[in-house]
């Protein structure tokens, strides 16, 4: 979603904003803008706002620097109004400029009311109503005007506002959208998330929902929803975030390469985690619920597969967006496992809030320790995947699988006082995943062969269905190839109709007892002229198959194979993306953190 930044710095404020916006581009990149309070040389007016905003990437803002020590910036992911210069943020009304991340749900009613009072709008965005409200509520007290405007808003927002009447001041508000304050050498910041400040800030402090941040007189101040000043503690920016650099390759390639390290860091952290506080819930649960979105939803499905098999209790798994609106039968005594890399995905947060309201116990699997989801959870289960910047989730997915499998093993222990057998192979996971990199040469050949395809299927049985779905999502998302991930057994029930000469089908077969069934599905594809590729750790499964392309995966205990088999599929998607001329870090229409519904 949109990224917002605010900066107060006597030195290089514009440059700092620009650098942060470049790092925020993973949150949205259909347009970008900056506004600064600029000291006017003309005598009759001391300060004025200068705004530069453009459709496209942040690089469009490079060039002439705007001077000034107080500024805000924005990378947009359009919700209301097409990407164009006019709809780009900052939005201005009178002496105020504003950037916004979120969605104002009552914007239409507010716009109508404002129009009836003679206001005219320059954009189609929901955000412009906020700056108009601030302007109308202003009677000399900047902070009071922002609070009065926020009191009228329904929906989600993190905003940063500057005013030509208040040089040196930035006022921010947070409601269901992430916002942090940060301090670095010679600069104070507010920002939608910490990675934007890599190399710039040393300390940070997240705001909670309903809180305000005010940068004024060279200080960062926090206020509660009633406008009373509150004291908060700042934390050192984690070293991995502070050192975030892409290098020559895309973030996606870098993050795939970091997976073995991410796994071993996550495993160490899981070993250190005290599960005793949730022992009663894990032992006593008659069923689990699991919610997540996108790739994280695939981790939820993998949790379902492993937990049902190990614990013999049902796991009801749903995408977060559907869970909320289906009157879920969740209540006291139930455990909800919510999975989210960012911990800020709006639907997952709302599903979790709903479950908690109904008395369920919330376990949150997240990669961001200071996220809203972690704060909401009864038991946060933290990944140590390190910052993931690429929109496509790779190392975080693999670590999510590790964490939910680990959770399953703990529940098994609390129920049966012993760990499942595969638990003892977790130590080998990182090196097995590293060994999977040997498949990359082959996947690169496969990508060359298939790069011009208009569509493809991914098939699997049992635990491989989820891997098929994740493989398909990845290639759709970054290579813009139409793809579907399916249970191979469903092929004959409709999908087969689309198979014709050369149509590519990728199958994953890591479960020996189901491998023959997967092979049968491939034979049916082959009989209709389709192109078959097969990934398995079993030499005999590969050699006996009819596949045109075979890739031998490194082997580990079967229940852990979903962690390994997805690695070549991630790399394949990345290769396809590059061959098709796309940027893996900027997938069309997508943003890393989906903080709006
Ligand atoms: O931060 P989250 O894990 O909650 O994000 C969920 C999805 O938006 C995310 O996994 C998305 O599907 C990825 N872009 C997939 O690569």
pLDDT digits (tens, 9 = 90+) for 403-442: 999 999 999 999 999 999 999 999 999 999 999 999 999 9
* Among 300, 283, 286, CA closest to 413: 283
Q: Which helix (H) or strand (E) holds 551?
A: strand 549-552
At residue 580, φ and ψ (nearest 5 deg) are -90, 5
Q: Determine the distance separating the centroid of ligand 1 and the alpha carbon of 134, expressed in angstroms.
A: 34
- Give residue 121's pLDDT: 95
Residue 176 per-residue DSSP state: B
Q: Determine the distance separating the centroid of ligand 1 and the alpha carbon of 293, expressed in angstroms.
A: 6
Does the beta carbon of 371 sit less than 6 angstroms from any atom of ligand 1? no
DSSP of 458-524, one letter per residue? EEESTTHHHHHHHHHHHHHHHH--EEEEEEGGGGGGTGGGG--TT-EEEEE---HHHHHHHHHHHHH
**504 CB-near residues (< 8 Å, 6+ apart):** 450, 453, 456, 457, 530, 531, 533
- Give residue 591's pLDDT: 79
Copy the structure tokens of residue 117. 């009072």
- Give residue 66's pLDDT: 83
Residue pair 181/196 in contact (Cβ under 8 Å)? The answer is: no
Mutate to test the pocket of ligand 1, among 1, 347, 393, 394 (most ligand atoms within 8 A of CB): 393
Does the beta carbon of 273 sit less than 6 angstroms from any atom of ligand 1? no
Mutate to test the pocket of ligand 1, among 192, 343, 345 (most ligand atoms within 8 A of CB): 345
Give the span between the Cα atoms of 29 and 117, in whole angstroms.
Answer: 34
- Give residue 150's pLDDT: 97
Does the beta carbon of 591 sit less than 6 angstroms from any atom of ligand 1? no
Q: Which helix (H) or strand (E) holds 32?
A: strand 31-39
**241 CB-near residues (< 8 Å, 6+ apart):** 194, 195, 197, 198, 387
Per-residue pLDDT of the chain (597 residues; tens, 9 = 90+): 789 999 999 999 999 999 999 988 877 778 999 999 988 766 566 889 999 999 988 888 888 788 899 999 999 988 888 989 999 999 999 999 999 999 999 999 999 999 999 999 999 999 999 999 999 999 999 999 999 999 999 999 999 999 999 999 999 999 999 999 999 989 999 999 888 898 899 999 999 999 999 999 999 999 999 999 999 999 998 877 766 766 678 999 999 999 999 999 999 999 999 999 999 999 999 899 999 999 999 999 999 999 999 999 999 999 999 998 888 899 999 999 999 999 999 999 999 999 999 999 999 999 999 899 999 999 999 999 999 999 999 999 999 999 999 999 999 999 999 999 999 999 999 999 999 999 999 999 999 999 999 999 999 999 999 999 999 999 999 999 999 999 999 998 988 898 999 999 999 999 999 999 999 999 999 999 999 999 999 999 999 999 999 999 999 999 999 999 999 999 999 999 999 999 998 888 887 778 777
- Give residue 586's pLDDT: 86
Longest Cα pair distance anywhere in the chain, in angstroms? 85
Copy the structure tokens of residue 88. 């780009």
- Give residue 196's pLDDT: 87
Q: Determine the distance separating the centroid of ligand 1 and the alpha carbon of 182, expressed in angstroms.
A: 26
| Per-residue pLDDT tens over the stretch 155-168 | 999 999 999 999 99
Mutate to test the pocket of ligand 1, among 294, 302, 478, 483 (most ligand atoms within 8 A of CB): 294
Does the beta carbon of 499 sit less than 6 angstroms from any atom of ligand 1? no
Give the span between the Cα atoms of 169 and 303, in whole angstroms.
Answer: 47
Q: Which helix (H) or strand (E) holds 382?
A: strand 379-382
**CA of 341, closest atom in ligand 1:** 3
Q: Determine the distance separating the centroid of ligand 1 and the alpha carbon of 478, expressed in angstroms.
A: 13
**438 CB-near residues (< 8 Å, 6+ apart):** 554
Q: Determine the distance separating the centroid of ligand 1 and the alpha carbon of 300, expressed in angstroms.
A: 12
Question: How many CA atoms within 13 Å lie on the side-chain side of 261?
Answer: 8
Does the beta carbon of 367 sit less than 6 angstroms from any atom of ligand 1? no
Give the span between the Cα atoms of 27 and 4, in whole angstroms.
Answer: 9
Active site residue 395: no
Does the beta carbon of 296 sit less than 6 angstroms from any atom of ligand 1? yes
* Among 68, 178, 314, CA closest to 596: 178
Q: Determine the distance separating the centroid of ligand 1 and the alpha carbon of 393, expressed in angstroms.
A: 6
- Give residue 26's pLDDT: 75
Q: Catalytic: which of 22, 23, 95, 592? A: 592
Copy the structure tokens of residue 262. 């991410």
**CA of 474, closest atom in ligand 1:** 16
Q: How far is CA 439 from CA 255, 444, 550, in A?
A: 17, 9, 10
Residue 91 preceded by cis peptide, ω within 30: no
Q: Catalytic: which of 2, 13, 172, 317? A: 2
Give the span between the Cα atoms of 488 and 563, in whole angstroms.
Answer: 20
Does the beta carbon of 295 sit less than 6 angstroms from any atom of ligand 1? yes
Q: Determine the distance separating the centroid of ligand 1 and the alpha carbon of 391, expressed in angstroms.
A: 8
Residue with tokens 């097969």: 534
Residue with tokens 């500057």: 162
Residue nearest to atom 12 of ligand 1 (CA): 294
Copy the structure tokens of residue 571. 């790399």
Residue nearest to atom 7 of ligand 1 (CA): 294
Residue nearest to atom 8 of ligand 1 (CA): 294
Residue 90 preceded by cis peptide, ω within 30: yes
**Residue 193 CB-density burial (10 A; 0-12 exposed, 13-18 middle, 19+ buried):** buried
Does the beta carbon of 573 sit less than 6 angstroms from any atom of ligand 1? no
Q: Determine the distance separating the centroid of ligand 1 and the alpha carbon of 109, expressed in angstroms.
A: 32
- Give residue 43's pLDDT: 56
Give the span between the Cα atoms of 510 and 535, in whole angstroms.
Answer: 8
At residue 369, φ and ψ (nearest 5 deg) are -60, -35
Give the span between the Cα atoms of 517 and 527, in whole angstroms.
Answer: 15
Copy the structure tokens of residue 475. 């290639």
Active site residue 2: yes
């Amino acid at each position: 979603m949109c990224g917002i930044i605010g900066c107060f710095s006597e030195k290089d404020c514009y440059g700092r904003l620009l650098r942060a916006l470049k790092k925020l581009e993973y949150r949205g990149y259909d347009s970008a803008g900056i506004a600064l309070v600029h000291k006017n040389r003309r005598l009759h007016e001391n300060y004025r706002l200068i705004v530069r905003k453009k459709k496209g990437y942040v690089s469009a803002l490079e060039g002439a620097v705007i001077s000034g020590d107080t500024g805000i910036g924005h990378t947009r992911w359009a919700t209301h109004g097409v990407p164009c210069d006019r709809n780009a943020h900052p939005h201005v009304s009178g002496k105020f400029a504003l950037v916004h991340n979120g969605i104002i749900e009552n914007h239409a009613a507010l716009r109508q009311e404002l129009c009836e009072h003679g206001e005219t709008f320059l954009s189609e965005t929901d955000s412009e109503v906020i700056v108009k409200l601030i302007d109308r509520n202003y009677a000399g007290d900047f902070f009071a005007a922002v609070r009065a405007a926020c009191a009228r808003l329904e929906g989600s927002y993190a905003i940063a506002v500057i005013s030509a009447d208040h040089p040196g001041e930035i006022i921010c508000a947070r409601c269901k959208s992430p916002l942090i304050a940060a301090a670095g050498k010679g600069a104070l910041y507010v920002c939608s998330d910490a990675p934007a400040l890599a190399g710039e800030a040393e300390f940070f402090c997240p705001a909670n929902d309903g809180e305000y941040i005010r940068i004024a007189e060279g200080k960062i101040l926090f206020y509660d929803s009633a406008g009373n000043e509150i004291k908060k503690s700042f934390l050192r920016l984690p070293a991995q975030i502070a050192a975030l650099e892409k290098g020559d390759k895309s973030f996606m390639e870098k993050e795939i390469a970091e997976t073995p390290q991410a796994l071993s860091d996550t495993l160490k952290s899981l070993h250190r985690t005290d599960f005793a506080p949730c022992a009663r819930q894990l032992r006593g649960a008659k069923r689990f619920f699991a919610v997540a979105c996108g790739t994280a939803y695939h981790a939820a499905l993998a949790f379902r597969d492993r937990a049902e098999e190990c614990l013999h209790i049902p796991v009801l798994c749903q995408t977060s967006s559907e869970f909320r609106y289906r009157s879920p039968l969740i209540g006291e005594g139930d455990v909800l496992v919510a999975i989210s890399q960012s911990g800020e995905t709006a639907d997952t947060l709302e599903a979790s809030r709903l479950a908690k309201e109904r008395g369920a116990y919330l376990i949150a699997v997240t990669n961001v320790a200071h996220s809203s989801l972690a704060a909401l959870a009864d038991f946060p289960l933290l990944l140590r995947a390190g910052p993931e910047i690429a929109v496509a989730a790779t190392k975080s997915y693999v670590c999510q699988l590790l964490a939910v499998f680990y959770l399953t093993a703990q529940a098994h222990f609390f129920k049966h006082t012993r760990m499942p057998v595969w638990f003892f192979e977790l130590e080998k996971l990182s090196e097995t995943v590293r060994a999977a990199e040997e498949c990359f040469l082959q996947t690169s050949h496969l990508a060359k062969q298939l790069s011009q395809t208009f569509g493809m299927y991914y098939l699997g049985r049992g635990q491989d269905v989820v891997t098929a779905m994740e493989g398909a999502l990845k290639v759709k998302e970054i290579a813009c190839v139409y793809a579907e991930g399916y249970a191979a057994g469903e092929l004959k029930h409709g999908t087969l109709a689309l198979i014709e000469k050369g149509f590519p089908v990728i199958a994953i077969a890591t479960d020996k007892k189901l491998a023959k069934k997967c092979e049968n599905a491939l034979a049916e594809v082959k009989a209709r002229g389709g192109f078959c590729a097969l990934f398995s750790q079993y030499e005999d499964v590969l050699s006996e198959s009819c596949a045109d392309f075979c890739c031998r995966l490194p082997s580990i205990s079967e229940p852990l194979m979903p962690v390994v088999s997805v690695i070549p599929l991630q790399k394949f998607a990345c290769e396809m993306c590059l061959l098709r001329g796309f940027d893996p870090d900027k997938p069309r229409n997508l943003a890393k953190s989906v903080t709006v519904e």
